[in-house]
Amino acid sequence: MKADNAAVSIRGVSKSFGSVRANYKVDLDIYKGEILALLGENGSGKTTLMNMLSGIYFPDEGQIYINGTERVIRSPRDSHALGIGMVHQHFKLVDVLSAAENISLGLHEKLNIRETEERIREICEKYGFDIDPKQKVYDMSVSQKQTVEIVKVLYRGADILILDEPTAVLTPQEAEKLFDVLRRMKNDGKAIVIITHKMHEVEEISDRVAVLRAGEYIGSVDTKDMDVEQMTSMMVGHSVSLNIRREEPVGVKPRIEVKGLTVRNDEGILKLQDVSFTANTGEILGVAGISGCGQKELLEAVAGLQPVESGEVTYIRDDGTREPLLGKDPLSISEMGVSMSFVPEDRLGMGLVANMDIADNMMLRTFRRGKGPFTDRKPSKKLAKEVVKKLEIVTPGITTPVRRLSGGNVQKVLVGREIASDPTVLLTAYAVRGLDINSSYTIYNLINEQKEKGVAVIFVGEDLDVLLELSDRIMVLCGGKVSGILDARTADKRLIGRLMTSQGGGESHE
């Protein structure tokens, strides 16, 4: 029944939430000294399965063997005791405590903070982490917080590590550092499971991939025996081609002109400094940069959501008339007759209302239409049905609250609504973050369709390979300044990488 020498053997484990079958009779082995990538589309049950190992959920049926012995994991504490540690997608740290205090939290031992700090330093040295045990969590960057989470599970003596989308919040450089650490832990004999949607990371870091589809275990293969396309086919159950088509832009005319844009955030920190660029019709302008370099502020300033210190944003109509956009809120922009669509980074917190159903979410931008005090729900229901059908959204129906949909489907609802209004400008921020590869390509295709219809697209992305394949031009932001605008067809990835980190921001390549 169970595999010998496996650190963890999962046998016949099922878990349902109401009528939703998250896992069904899953068999999975995890070995020591290997990095296993757990793959699957959004909503295929990867996180649920791992949550059962870490004691958050209890399986409806099935057995779990740890180092060859059948075990019952009732709670996170049981899980710790068995040497399982999970680093969640959303960190679970107390902001006002220091790293060391967070790490010792919940342990049943006498608190000796100096000893704890000493042991943390030892762990850091052994695996090459870089954290200060005394530093408060609220002072830490996202990557430091993640490091604390990883050190926390190691501190508790975990030798089976589960990381749920660890690189989603990291810059490429930070991800590289994390991978070095993971390799060192692997060589130290630990069993590591990593859940990720970034296929090039899977190829880079993992020894073996295991695939879940719709809650069922499909199989596992050595990473070196497979390419990305084969892995994706295994995940979605049919063959897929992973090519982004890129047509030559047609009828290119300036649409949005940004000049000398300078933005400070609420805390008075300079987020954008003298940013100038033009977004053209029928063209995708990719925006590259390390996260937090002003991408969010840039899009929000254009969309009328961000107060601006100085600069100009001009909308240029088809007939060449120019109108300023700054100082207008989204409502007055749409009253000007400018159809601007914006797919924000924070989908459920900004772009959609999590507790409303798909139909009501379709109405968000258009609910004011029509005379009288009543809303007209008929058009939004019709639109919801169309979007669900066209974008193949997996949902029980259009009356399902969007929070119950998986990440990819949520994004399809949002993008579907935003392009339904026939925009002339489309702004997207991290449109495929957290999405599985198949959904990502659906989104790329939708964006391409918009470009071919003559929409001016500004696409903020994090994956340089995708930016290079999808965009017509790439603007690189670095610390709130434009460090270069390049032709994406000829641009060099390494050059962009350098521009992303260069501090000067003076060189411009048009």
Partner 1 sequence: MNKRIREPLFHIVKRDAPSLKRIFGVRIAAILLALLLCGIVTMITTGLDPLSVFESIFIGAFGSKRKIWITLQNTAILLLISVALTPAFRMRFWNVGGEGQILVGGLAAAACMICLSDKLPNALVILCMAAGSLLAGALWGFIPAFFKSRWNTNETLSTLMMNYIATQLVAYFTIIWEVPKGSGKIGIINQDSNIGWLPEVFGSKYLLTIIVAIAVTAFIYIYLNYFKHGYEISVVGESDKTARYVGIKVGKAIVRTMLLSGCLCGLVGLLLVGSINHTVTTTIADGQGFTGVLVAWMCKFNPLTMVFASLLIIFMNRGAGEISTNFGLNHSYADIITGIILFFLIGCEFFIRYKIQFRKKTAKEEK
Binding site for partner 1 (CB under 8 A): 17-20, 58, 60-61, 70-72, 74, 303, 305, 329-332, 334, 342, 344, 346, 349-356, 360, 363-365, 367-368, 373-375, 404
- Cβ at position 233, least distance to partner 1 in Å: 31
- Give the nearer residue to partner 1 in terms of CB position, either 289 or 344: 344
Q: How far apart are CA 306 and CA 301, in angstroms?
A: 5
- Cβ at position 259, least distance to partner 1 in Å: 25
- Cβ at position 188, least distance to partner 1 in Å: 30
Q: How far apart are CA 501 and CA 506, in angstroms?
A: 12
Within 8 A by CB and 6+ apart from 242, the residues are 228, 229, 232, 437, 441
- Give the nearer residue to partner 1 in terms of CB position, either 333 or 468: 333
- Cβ at position 374, least distance to partner 1 in Å: 5
- Cβ at position 32, least distance to partner 1 in Å: 23
- Give the nearer residue to partner 1 in terms of CB position, either 273 or 409: 409
- Cβ at position 72, least distance to partner 1 in Å: 5
Task: Considering only CA atoms, give the Rg of the chain.
Answer: 24
Q: How far apart are CA 398 and CA 385, in angstroms?
A: 7
Strand ordering across the sheet containing 69-71: 20-31, 6-17, 61-66, 69-71
Contact 153, 93 (CB under 8 A): no
Beta-ladder partners of 193: 36, 162
Q: What is the DSSP letter of 366?
A: T
Handedness of CA 170, 176, 181, 182 (dihedral sign): positive
Q: How far apart are CA 492 and CA 474, in angstroms?
A: 11
Nearest to 39 by CA among 47, 29, 30: 47
- Cβ at position 10, least distance to partner 1 in Å: 15
Q: Report the interhelical angle of 437-452 vs 407-420 (nearest 10°).
A: 10
- Give the nearer residue to partner 1 in terms of CB position, either 60 or 257: 60
- Give the nearer residue to partner 1 in terms of CB position, either 314 or 375: 375
- Give the nearer residue to partner 1 in terms of CB position, either 399 or 508: 399
Tell me the one-letter amino acid at 260. G
**DSSP 3-state of 63:** strand
- Cβ at position 416, least distance to partner 1 in Å: 16
- Give the nearer residue to partner 1 in terms of CB position, either 181 or 426: 426
- Give the nearer residue to partner 1 in terms of CB position, either 72 or 94: 72
The residue count of the chain comes to 510
**DSSP 3-state of 263:** strand
